Structure 1
Amino acid sequence: MKSTPTGRQARLGGELRKMRERAGLSSTEAAQLLGIKQHQVSNMEAGRLGVSADRVRMLACHYECPDRVLVEALTRMTRDRRRGWWEDYRELLPSPLLDMAELEHHAQSLRDATTARIPGLLQTREYALEIFRQGVTELSPPDIEHRLSFRIKRQAILFRDGDPTPYEAIIHEAALRMKVGGSTVARQQLQHLLDMSDRQHITLRAISFDVGAYPGSGQSIHYARGPVAQLDTVYLDQSHGLAFLDAEAQLHKYRTLFDRIDTVALDPAKTRDLIHNVMREL
Structure 2
Amino acid sequence: MSSTVTSRRRQLGNEIRRARVAAGMTQQEVAALLGCGQAKINKIENGAVSVKLSDLRQMLEAFGTSKTEADMMTALARTSGQRGQWSGYRSAVPHWFRTFTDLEPAASEILSWHGERIPGPLQSEHYMLKQFSEARATDVTALVRNRLERKQVFELKRPPFYRFILGEAAFRRMPGGPSPSVALDQVQHLLELEKSYPRTFIHVLPFDTRLSFVPNDFTIMRFSDATRDFVFIEHAAGGTYIDDEGDFELFVDAWDRLRGAALERNETAEFLEKLAQDLRAQVQV
TM-score (norm 2): 0.75
Match of 2:173 in 1: 178
Do the aligned partners of 2:165 and 2:205 also contact (CA within 8 Å) in 1? yes
CA shift, 1:177, in A, is 2.9
User: Does residue 165 of the first structure (1) align with residue 144 of the second (2)?
Assistant: no
Among all aligned residue pairs of Structure 1 and Structure 2, give the percentage whose two residues are the same amino acid: 24
Q: Structure 1 residues 132, 252: closer, same or farther in 2, change over 3 A?
A: same
Distance 1:236 1:27, change over 3 A: closer
The question of whether the paired residues in 2 share the 8 Å contact of 1:90 and 1:98 is answered with no
Distance in 2 (CA, whole Å) between partners of 1:110 and 1:225 is 6
Who is 2:269 aligned against? 272
Tell me the distance in 1 between the aligned counterparts of 2:75 and 2:209. Answer: 43
The answer as to whether partners of 1:115 and 1:171 remain within 8 angstroms in 2 is yes
1:192 partnered with 2:189:
yes
Which digits, 9 at most, give the CA deviation of each residue in 1:44-65, with x for residues without a partner?
446232469x96994796489x
- In terms of mean alpha carbon deviation, does 261-270 or 229-238 score higher? 229-238
Secondary structure of the residue aligned to 1:272 is helix
Q: List gaps (5 residues or longer) in structure 2.
A: 280-285
Partners of 2:190 and 2:71 lie apart in 1 by 37
Relative contact order, higher structure (CA 8 A, sep 6+): 2
The correspondence of residues 90-239 of structure 1 with structure 2, limited to 5 A, is 91-135=91-135, 138-140=136-138, 142=139, 144-160=140-156, 162-180=157-175, 182-198=179-195, 199-214=197-212, 217-227=214-224, 231-239=228-236
| In 2: Cα distance, 1:267 partner to 1:178 partner | 22
Question: Does the 8 Å CA contact 2:12/2:77 hold for their aligned counterparts?
Answer: no
Contact kept in structure 2, 1:194 and 1:272, CA below 8 Å:
yes
Classify the secondary structure of the residue corresponding to 1:237: strand
CA-CA distance at 1:128 after TM superposition: 1.2
1:33-48 aligned at under 5 Å gives the runs: 37-39=34-36, 42=40, 44-45=44-45, 47-48=49-50
Residue-by-residue CA offset, 1:179-199 (whole Å, 9 max, x unaligned): 446222211110110111112
Q: For 1:249, what is the secondary structure of its paired residue?
A: helix
Aligned with 1:255 (options 224, 249, 252)? 252
How far apart are the structure 2 equivalents of 1:156 and 1:37?
41
Unaligned ranges ≥5, structure 1: 1-5
Q: Note the C-alpha offset of 1:12.
A: 4.4
Name the structure 2 match of 1:15: 14
* Secondary structure of the corresponding residue to residue 153 of structure 2: helix
Q: In the alignment, residue 15 of structure 1 is paired with which amino acid?
A: N
Distance in 1, Cα, partners of 2:200 & 2:103:
18
AA at the equivalent of 2:144: L
| Aligned-pair CA distance for 1:77 | 5.7
Instruction: Give the superposition deviation at 1:178.
Output: 3.0
* CA contact 2:134–2:175 (8 Å) conserved in 1: no
TM-score (norm 1): 0.76
Alpha-carbon RMSD across the aligned residues, in angstroms, is: 3.7
The corresponding residue for 1:3 is none
Structure 1 distance, partners of 2:170, 2:95, is 27
Cα offset for 1:102?
0.3
User: Residues of 1 paired with 2:62 and 2:225: CA distance?
Assistant: 16
- The alignment partner of 2:36 has SS state of helix
